[in-house]
Structure 1
Amino acid sequence: MIKRALSRMAAAGAVAALIGFTAASPAMADDEGPLWYGNRGTVTFNDDGDDITVCDKLADGYGVTGYLERLNSSGTGLVWVIKEDDGGDAGCDRSDNGYDMIGNISHGLAICWNGSGSCVRSDWYFDE
């Protein structure tokens, strides 16, 4: 009886640990986003093509810049692997640079308003 109860508790603990590990893992990339900078604009990662779409949503005289980022090789800073601007015209702009993010390197999105202020960043994720 005690063995059975301990066995059930161990199994429940293993399941809880697996759920916790899965929840803490970076997300797998499909399309990610859109990531919003308030009402000023968005950036979206497009899994089909491994590129980003940036949309300026506010006619305020400034555009927005979207980035696909990853950590540098030492893990101490960010590297912009894709940068795309949008502003001053109708519609959105989509990057086309041939970057392939497949692998186990975490990436994230960022969007910056070309006026002033800090950028908005997404959670980290990686491609399958």
Structure 2
Amino acid sequence: MVKSFSRIAVASAALAATLGGVTTPAFAAESQILTTDITVNIPNRGKMVFHDDGDMFEVCDTNADGHGMTGYLKNSDTGRILLLLTDGGDAGCDKDGWNVDNWPSSYQMQLQWDGGGPAAYSALFNE
């Protein structure tokens, strides 16, 4: 009878370890999603900023070179563009709000200089 309880305890411990291994990667992936203010830059061109307090996005053209900046907010799960902001040809930055949801949705900002070249991407984030 004692041996049966020992086998049950060992089997239970093995099951708990297996289940723990299954849930740990999902938790690790979730913990890599940022939940604070985020900035993505193209040096000497411009930036895109997410202000977590109020879910406000802003795109700034920081170089008067005749080309503006375009910022996109994408749902990284679906690839859908949720917000499009442009700035250029005027002083200051252009802003717009978008309600960023909580997990499991995640988002990514993409910033493009309208004169060409590679885009800059933020880390994944949500609220």
**Structures share fold, TM-score greater than 0.5:** yes
SS of 1:95 mapped into structure 2 = strand
Other-structure match for 1:81: 82
Structure 2 stretches lacking a partner, 5+ long: 1-19
Rg bigger for which structure? 2
Structure 1 residue 23: deviation in Å? 8.0
Q: CA RMSD in A?
A: 2.4
Structure 1 residue 56: deviation in Å? 0.2
In the alignment, residue 122 of structure 2 is paired with which amino acid?
Answer: S
Instruction: Identify, as 1 or 2, the structure richer in helix.
Output: 2
Other-structure match for 1:60: 65
Total equivalences in the alignment: 104
Deviations 1:55-113 (A, max 9, x none): 101111000011221135xx5xx2111111000011111114xx321222111111000
Match of 1:30 among 19, 30, 36: 36
SS of 1:52 mapped into structure 2 = strand
Other-structure match for 2:13: none
Q: Is the contact between residue 35 and residue 109 of structure 1 (CA under 8 Å) also seen in structure 2?
A: yes
Mapped to 2, the partners of 1:59 and 1:81 lie a distance apart of 27
Match of 1:71 among 70, 76, 95: 76
Structure 1 stretches lacking a partner, 5+ long: 1-13
Q: Given the two structures, how large is their TM-score scaled by the length of structure 2?
A: 0.70
In the alignment, residue 124 of structure 2 is paired with which amino acid?
Answer: W
Tell me the percent identity. Answer: 35
Q: Is the contact between residue 52 and residue 66 of structure 1 (CA under 8 Å) also seen in structure 2?
A: no
Q: Given the two structures, how large is their TM-score scaled by the length of structure 1?
A: 0.69
Say whether residues 1:39 and 2:44 are aligned partners: yes
Mapped to 2, the partners of 1:26 and 1:69 lie a distance apart of 17
Deviations 1:20-48 (A, max 9, x none): x658733332211x210121000000112
Instruction: Identify, as 1 or 2, the structure richer in strand.
Output: 1
Which ranges of 4 or more aligned residues in structure 1 deviate by more than 6 Å? none
